[in-house]
Amino acid sequence: MTFRGMLLASVAVACAAMPVSALADTSDKKIALSNNYAGNSWRQAMLTSWDKVTGEAVKAGVVAAADAFTTAENQATEQAAQIQNMILQGYDAIVLNAASPTALNGAVKEACDAGIIVVSFDGVVSEPCAWRIAVDFKEMGRSQVEYLSKKLPEGGNLLEIRGLAGVFVDDEISAGIHEGVKQFPQFKIVGSVHGDWAQDVAQKAVAGILPSLPEIAGVVTQGGDGYGAAQAIAAAKRPMPVIVMGNREDELKWWKEQKDAKNYETMSVSIAPGVSTLAFWVAQQILDGKEVKKDLVVPFLRIDQDNLEQNLAKTQAGGVANVEYTQADAIKVIEGAK
């Protein structure tokens, strides 16, 4: 047997050993990630997950390429131009975290017309030809108040920290929180500030409103702002309320310290940045010819008192608690939506 023959034989064996779905006709397909922003820990984790999972997929020959592109300025126009470039470069699918739910529709439509599969996630687009992997942000907000109602049955004053004003996600989570307050009327939102999902902005905003607030029982957040709120409240020497965290490593670490020191209890909820990898597998499945519903829902990642240590240990320093999805997970989500 020649060397080439041996090689062919081993490839054949390897192929036969692989699950059928991985042996798709997507091995010559190219997938691109169009991302609008990279300047915070969540986005960094999202990109790292993408690199890790797609790198393995490319090595295994599931797809030919999975390149990530990030725009510099977080502008819809810039991202639209980026998508047009991807069309010209001949990608078969574009996985998209969009700067705007509507402003990219033109570019997305162009891509669809060129026969390209567009899967949006996290920052989804409203263009009907694209797929959307959305998070139930409303439920994420509501579940925080529900948790607080169990933790503090007598209720109390809440401080709400919102995200970036004018962004769809901020409106959704906040609507969910207000829904929760309606459901549990023992709570009252006495103050609301915008923390822009950033610890330092949240710290500044909370420090500014805190002096004029009555005692606070709980802080409802959107993620990326809990540690800043804790810093501001500690600096004002006020009793520490129950601050709902957002899965960031600094937040979890602070929670762990408080838990060890004075048995502090709270919970933490956010979307796993690894949702980018779910979007990748969904795109791969669509390229593979699977019938997939246009709107999919991804569950959010919640951390509680008893699995804090376990999640903290898994979370990269400076990162966000994360789950990376496999092809099987994607198939499950797709099946679940049918």
- Residues near another protein (CB under 8 A) are 38-41, 44, 48, 72, 162, 165-166, 191-194, 196, 198-201, 203-205, 207-212, 227-228, 231, 235-236, 249-250, 317-319
Nearest distance, CB of residue 311 and another protein, angstroms: 17
Q: Which residue has the tokens 């592109």?
A: 69
Nearest distance, CB of residue 209 and another protein, angstroms: 4
- CA nearest to 298, candidates 135, 176, 98: 135
Return the bridge partners of 320, or none: 248
Closer to another protein by CB, 29 or 43: give it: 43
Closer to another protein by CB, 92 or 249: give it: 249
CA distances from 208 to 191, 251, 254 (A): 11, 21, 22
Closer to another protein by CB, 169 or 296: give it: 169
Nearest distance, CB of residue 122 and another protein, angstroms: 17
Encoded amino acid at 238, one letter: R
Quick one: tokens of 208? 């500014």
Closer to another protein by CB, 90 or 318: give it: 318
Closer to another protein by CB, 66 or 198: give it: 198
- For 46, what's the count of Cα atoms within 13 Å in the CB-facing half-sphere? 29
Closer to another protein by CB, 218 or 224: give it: 224
Q: Are 160 and 220 in contact (CB under 8 A)?
A: yes
Nearest distance, CB of residue 272 and another protein, angstroms: 16
User: What's the rounded Cα separation, in Å, for the pair 182 and 211?
Assistant: 26
User: What's the rounded Cα separation, in Å, for the pair 207 and 211?
Assistant: 7
Closer to another protein by CB, 39 or 128: give it: 39
Nearest distance, CB of residue 278 and another protein, angstroms: 22
Q: Are 112 and 129 in contact (CB under 8 A)?
A: yes
Nearest distance, CB of residue 177 and another protein, angstroms: 14
Nearest distance, CB of residue 182 and another protein, angstroms: 17
Phi, psi (degrees; rounded to nearest 5) at 100: -150, 140
User: What's the rounded Cα separation, in Å, for the pair 330 and 236?
Assistant: 46
* 3-state secondary structure at position 172: helix
